[in-house]
Structure 1
């Protein structure tokens, strides 16, 4: 195992991170030490959920690397447990670990739909595609009980507001009735992430995500409902899943996807040592090769946060991947993006209690 300052919080079965690495803002490192006492084995790590009431739910960004300027995050942390998740470092701002805490100590926003309703009613608001799922997955397992995403979609349908969704979760099928309504007006698109077609790799890399075959079935069902779907073969992990690019795109096209994209693996902040520990644990025969190829992508480092190349990488291998992606899309008849969503239909519905709503 690589040298991590960590504290193991219990049995990591069903979790992506094997450790609870200390966040970069913490003043002290915590290290698990065998003190010689015959202590009982810790229980399997359980998921805990706290709730917060945000003053605002629309986050703004000016990054040139993403095609949207606003997003909504129903949850902080993600139970899917993808070891490579670039959102993990955000948990450090909460005083929690980007490791096992990120996937087991979650924060839900049950009032998010109410707050969104208020924000969309502001006279200064101008509509543009609202992205959901670009940070943590809105269809992670706890959505089954909280139903925050469904409530958000209900508000967006009422306002006839465009929304772009990114997910790995099959729970999105529950909301096909709302998505079908939005799609009929050109107001929704979905990006479905398929990182590998190998169920064994998927199980250890993203332990609580539905299987690759099941995600392809989601694409099929969304497409059948008239919802535009793009497959995101992301992230591509060098020396582990990169050889699957064409196979993923072919399977997604056959299921009904209209467009395809791919993003290279990126390991910001605490994600780098977590991923290194994971690779050495699960793929010791190729861990060194994986990590060296990642360094090739990012100028000799495990990560370089430079606009323009942080998602695509640089160098010969990155160029080859871009060429393979372009050739595969052309051969399969896939676009690089889905059609733009409409903004001209946006209109605030009557609020509860409005006098005009009585007539």
Structure 2
């Protein structure tokens, strides 16, 4: 393997996951000794592996999540957000939740076909399908694979309700599907905006579109009649929390229908990756950041318990919650409500045209 640069990536390292007793990946010492003699260091390239799952509709029974089913067209995410709570899922593939998560990606090209089968089952009852719950459905490789688009085409055809969460303005490419779905009352979009500062954005979520593009996407969605919301998630104390009011104001100015926020979560391998990121980019405040996160998470790096994992606890969480509530009241931005119609659903009719 060539020595690869991590310039432009989110994770500062590619540590082996340890939860599954996997062998540590080591590079031989003589190879390390020869690194300096190389002509140069090549960029770390993104690879995409085709995945053939047997099902695509993921169910959950979590009492603190507002949906019970989701579709994820991809595994891994090239946006490289250091805080991404989905990073640990790459460990199931014997891959690192670090750099592997953002450069060794998996695509599910048969997602729409599998969803067609799921929606066709006798007794299926429609409820909003969430896209973007694990990895971003509009990350860069969607430009080529268009798996998300194929799923949306099916959802519009069957008039099935859906929500999209993304931090990419690429969602506008599918306005020809999303806008008609919104007119039927079966679609809504949440755009994640964590910071307005280009310098923070460059390291926090290095390959995601710029915040100004996301705010412009909210405006365009609203103008097209699509209920669009701003997701201030996650809020990273001592790094982005000072921007909460500014983000609310900018989203309101863009016409967002509502807003919600979540404190940063650091499950499993995300915590040590995040600490390494702090040491590299914010060494002057790393200790303060983690102390505040520990305060919000009951003295730990992460709180996995239902409800409190989404809200946080203690004085810091209360302060952030109060600030958010005051900001949304000041700028007339209500709490996000994803009320979608379920009664329009029509099961797929196979390859034949519908009879009118």
Q: Is contact 1:8-1:32 (8 Å) kept?
A: no
> TM-score if structure 2 supplies the norm length?
0.95
C-alpha separation in 2, matches of 1:128 and 1:55: 21
Distance 1:295 1:8 in 2: 38
Which residue of the partner structure matches residue 23 of structure 2? 28
Aligned to 1:275: 274
User: 2:258, 2:83 → 1: CA distance?
Assistant: 23
Please give the secondary structure, in 2, of the residue aligned with 1:134. coil
Equivalent residue for 2:210? 211
Counting matched residue pairs gives 351
Deviations 1:206-249 (A, max 9, x none): 01000111111111111110100110111000001001001001
Match of 1:287 in 2: 286
Secondary structure of the equivalent of 2:234?
coil
For 1:309 and 1:70, locate their aligned partners in 2 and report how far apart those are by CA, in whole Å. Answer: 21
Distance 1:336 1:158 in 2: 30
CA RMSD of aligned residues (A): 1.7
Contact 1:9/1:20 (<8 A) preserved: no
Q: In 1, Cα distance between the equivalents of 2:255 and 2:28? A: 52
What secondary structure sits across from 1:240 in the alignment?
coil
Distance apart, 1:90 and its partner CA: 0.3
Matched, 1:173 2:181: no
Equivalent residues of 1:113, 1:155 under 8 A apart? yes
Deviations 1:22-48 (A, max 9, x none): 112143223567656232254210000
Q: Structure 2 vs 1, CA of residues 9 and 124 (structure 1 numbering), >3 Å: closer, same or farther?
A: farther
Instruction: Classify the secondary structure of the residue corresponding to 1:233.
Output: strand
Pick closer, same or farther for the CA change 1:156–1:97 going to 2, 3 Å: same
Taking a change above 3 Å as real, the CA distance of residues 34 and 277 of structure 1, as seen in their structure-2 partners, is: farther
The answer to whether the aligner puts 1:75 opposite 2:74 as a matched pair is: yes
Cα deviation, 1:294-327, whole Å, max 9, x if unaligned, reads 1111111111211111122111010011111111
Segments ≥4 residues shifted beyond 3 Å? 30-36
Q: For residues 127 and 276 of structure 2, what CA distance do their matches in structure 1 show?
A: 40
Counterpart Cα distance in 1 of 2:308 and 2:153: 36
Q: How far has the Cα of 1:18 moved from its partner?
A: 1.3
Verify the 8 A CA contact 1:130 1:164 in the aligned structure 2. yes
Gaps of 5+ in 2: none
Gapped runs of 5+ residues in structure 1? 1-6
Write the distance in 2 (CA, Å) between the matches of 1:235 and 1:9. Answer: 32
Q: Is the 8 A contact 2:116 2:348 kept in 1?
A: no
CA distance in 1, matches of 2:246, 2:2: 37
- Structure 1 residue 339: Cα displacement: 4.5
The residue correspondences of 1:217-232 to structure 2 (distance < 5 A) are: 217-232=216-231
